[in-house]
Amino acid sequence: MDIGRVLIAAEGAGGADTSFIGGSLQDALDTPPYEGMFEAVGPLVEKFEGRVWLVSKCGPSVQAKSRAWLRHHSFFERTGIAPANLRFCLQRTQKADHCRELRITHFIDDRSDVLHHLEGMVPHRYLFGPQRKPVTVAGLVLLPAWKDAAALVN
């Protein structure tokens, strides 16, 4: 699953990741988790017997802020995801490389273009959260909020 705008709430009405991209480390740490995320991710980790990975596209500065946010919010302890199950890449298309290597079967992302690159490789692709544009990528399952996650993977 992705991190920004999936695990970590989007900032402001436009839903931008601005606290991580343009803000300070403290701004990033103060960004709340997405509503219901902690309650939903733990059961998913149990269902997948710990085989859950975080795969995020961002540069070194945002990577550092993301790692700090995960520590600050005790993410790994609260969800049961292994800290070693964290991957970063510099381009969105590279998420497919990680998914191929890790044999990912389910992926949650807030961007349909990322999920499009996983077509034919990841059988279960979930488009998370509110979308700015109509969804045109076939084969995606809409996941409006974390409260809907458990029913989708059963």
Distance CA(96)–CA(94), nearest Å, equals 5
pLDDT score of 17:
60
pLDDT score of 15:
58
How many residues does this entry show for the chain?
154
DSSP 8-state class, residue 129: S
DSSP 8-state class, residue 10: P
| 13 has pLDDT over 50 | no
74 within a domain of the structure (yes/no): yes
Confidence of residue 12 (pLDDT cuts 50, 70, 90): low
10 within a domain of the structure (yes/no): no
Mapped onto helix, strand or coil, the DSSP state of residue 96 is helix
Confidence of residue 67 (pLDDT cuts 50, 70, 90): very high
67 within a domain of the structure (yes/no): yes
* Residue 127 domain boundaries: 18-152
13 within a domain of the structure (yes/no): no
| 153 has pLDDT over 70 | no
pLDDT score of 113:
94
2 within a domain of the structure (yes/no): no
Provide φ and ψ at 94, rounded to 5°: -75, -15
The CATH number that applies at residue 54 is: 3.40.50
Residues paired with 4 in a beta bridge = 8
pLDDT tens digits, one per residue of 96-137: 999 999 999 999 999 999 999 999 999 999 999 998 888 888
Domain count, the chain: 1
Whose structure tokens read 């961007």? 111
Whole-prediction pTM value? 0.93
DSSP 8-state class, residue 122: -
pLDDT tens digits, one per residue of 32-45: 999 999 999 999 99
The whole-chain average pLDDT of the chain stands at: 92
